[in-house]
Amino acid sequence: MVRDAVRHVLENCGITGEERLVVGVSGGVDSMVLLHVLHSLKQPLVVAHVNYHKRGAESDADEILVHKSADLMEIPCHTRSVHYNHGDGNFQDWARRMRYDFFKELRLETGATAIATAHQKDDQVETILMKLMRGAGPLAWMGMQYWDGIYLRPLLDVTRAEIEQYAKDHEIPYREDASNLESDYARNFLRNEWTPELNERLPGWQQNILRLREWSIQTEEALETIVKQLRNNDGSWNFSEFCTLSKGLQKALIRYWLKKNRPGEALISHGNIEEVINICHLQSGQFVTIGLEIQLWRDHDTLVFKSGEKPKGEKEFKLTKGDLANNKRIVEFARFSLSNEYPREYGKKLFCQLKDTDWPVTVRSWKDGDRFQPLGMKGHQLVSDFPTNRKVPSHRKNEVLVVVSFDQKICAVIFPPSDNEVNNGREPGGISETVRCSDEPAEVLTIEPIF
């Protein structure tokens, strides 16, 4: 039963038997059984064990057992020794961080496809129950996945009782961690205090908790269907259609986007998500903050998710003619060079015919009040208006760069890359009438946006 369940998960996750796996092995029954099963399936393995030294000689005995078992199976075994200090914060969080950092490093070093952990069905129930009790919504009820691209959990369909029976049947040695019997931590409290009572008073409660996972999957599928209807080719959402939805559905869609695209930031406060009610009152070029430095901008009839804006004017780079004499120089998203290119690819690059007195030039973020004379115009225009007139999205305006001559005249305005890089048809920016190129070959400052 256990072996078949593990084989089924491996097959469904595309693990064929040739990929190397890093297996986290603590010495407890769950991880020792996982090691035995994977080895019996002839899966290439690397064993990883962390000794926290929290239980003295007992911790050392765990390490010895893991090493002996790996040696008998002729599997490479790697151990990391760490020591906890009270200044490291919560022990469980610290230990988890130490453990997973080690596993990820080992995965990279050994070229392993995945990190296999021994989370099983009872762990899944506890995970979902804890999320419920902490107020998490339906999108969090999915619990742990079998495979997320890094972590593989082959035992998620197997109960602790089935694992213990497998260990008994196959005479697999393992060690009990006495600290698991203490109820100091939330998970141990649920396991030791609540579970026995619930088993007696509400038989079948664990299966009911696991059904929440199915509902979570169904909720995600429904939200993804709506997102597909809202999503434009460049990943933005249709503003008008979003605003026809109920406020509750709008909030659910925002949470879904955060979970999919910013998983480390998906747990946002109730106050943050309430900002959604202001989205449909935005004017073009305005935004609301909906998460940890995540902004939702309105740009005409589109909604665009974006990381928090950086202050304008903080970027400034100086270029001398000597810098570019024999080399190209990359500044942010643009490549600068001195070029004799002719005929010139207008529309793809910017060309500025500078005088010797224009050097050195400064490349910087635009500032409020910056003005220049666009090519072909007699008068001057605010740099802040130029990107808007050329259809640069509002949420990208603060990324615009300007090239300033030695006498502080703006020679060129450089637009950031398009959001949709595959179908990028946006012009690279504009130059000033004062640096217009002659109609003959000449060495000019060439600016080529990098997409």
Considering the domain boundaries, does residue 213 fall inside one? no
Considering the domain boundaries, does residue 169 fall inside one? yes
Nearest to 43 by CA among 32, 51, 35: 35
pLDDT for the residue numbered 201: 83
Number of domains in the chain: 3
Considering the domain boundaries, does residue 214 fall inside one? no
As given in the structure block, the two tokens for residue 92 are: 């469980």
**Containing structural domain, residue 249:** 231-307
Considering the domain boundaries, does residue 92 fall inside one? yes
pLDDT for the residue numbered 423: 42
What's the gap between Cα 295 and its chain centre? 16
**171 and 47, same structural domain?**
yes
Q: Which of 276, 307, 338 is the last residue of a domain?
A: 307
pLDDT for the residue numbered 182: 61
- Written as tens digits, the pLDDT of the chain (451 aa) is 899 999 999 999 999 888 999 999 999 999 999 999 999 999 999 999 999 998 899 999 999 999 999 999 999 999 999 999 877 778 888 999 999 999 999 999 999 999 999 999 999 998 898 888 877 788 888 889 999 899 999 999 999 999 999 999 999 999 987 666 565 566 777 777 778 888 888 888 888 999 998 999 999 999 999 999 999 988 899 999 999 999 899 989 988 988 888 765 444 555 566 667 778 888 888 888 776 567 888 888 999 988 755 444 457 888 988 888 878 888 888 999 999 989 898 888 999 999 988 999 999 999 888 899 999 998 899 998 898 888 888 778 888 999 999 888 999 999 988 765 444 566 899 999 999 999 889 999 999 988 6
pLDDT for the residue numbered 422: 42
pLDDT for the residue numbered 189: 74
Nearest to 139 by CA among 152, 124, 128, 126: 128
Q: Is the C-alpha dihedral spanning 69, 81, 180, 94 positive or negative?
A: negative
* Four-CA torsion 199, 201, 203, 209, nearest 10 degrees: -80
Q: Which of 250, 273, 307 is the last residue of a domain?
A: 307
**105 and 19, same structural domain?**
yes
**274 and 197, same structural domain?**
no
* Four-CA torsion 399, 405, 408, 414, nearest 10 degrees: -20
Q: How far apart are CA 50 and CA 31, in angstroms?
A: 13
Interior angle at CA 250, CA 245 and CA 251, nearest 5: 155
**32 and 173, same structural domain?**
yes
User: Residue 356 burial (CB < 10 Å; 0-12/13-18/19+)?
Assistant: exposed
* Four-CA torsion 335, 340, 344, 349, nearest 10 degrees: 10
Do 160 and 195 meet the contact criterion of CB atoms below 8 Å apart? no
Considering the domain boundaries, does residue 340 fall inside one? yes
Q: Give me the phi and psi of 225, to 5 degrees please.
A: -60, -40
User: Residue 416 burial (CB < 10 Å; 0-12/13-18/19+)?
Assistant: buried
Maximum separation of any 2 CA atoms in the chain, in Å: 91
Considering the domain boundaries, does residue 367 fall inside one? yes
Q: Give me the phi and psi of 382, to 5 degrees please.
A: -65, 135
**322 and 297, same structural domain?**
no
pLDDT for the residue numbered 179: 62
Say what the pTM is: 0.64
**75 and 31, same structural domain?**
yes
Specify the 3-state DSSP secondary structure of 17.
Answer: coil
**431 and 290, same structural domain?**
no
pLDDT for the residue numbered 299: 87
Q: What share of the chain is helix, strand, coil (3-state, %, to 5)?
A: 40, 20, 40
Nearest to 114 by CA among 184, 250, 13, 6: 13
Q: How far apart are CA 17 and CA 7, in angstroms?
A: 10
As given in the structure block, the two tokens for residue 434 are: 């004062």
**175 and 34, same structural domain?**
yes
**322 and 302, same structural domain?**
no
pLDDT for the residue numbered 421: 46
Task: Specify the residue for token string 């610290």.
Answer: 94
**416 and 371, same structural domain?**
yes
As given in the structure block, the two tokens for residue 34 are: 């996982």
Give the residues across from 410 on adjacent strands.
404
Considering the domain boundaries, does residue 215 fall inside one? no
User: Residue 56 burial (CB < 10 Å; 0-12/13-18/19+)?
Assistant: exposed
The CATH number of residue 25's host domain is 3.40.50.620
pLDDT for the residue numbered 1: 87
Interior angle at CA 261, CA 231 and CA 130, nearest 5: 125
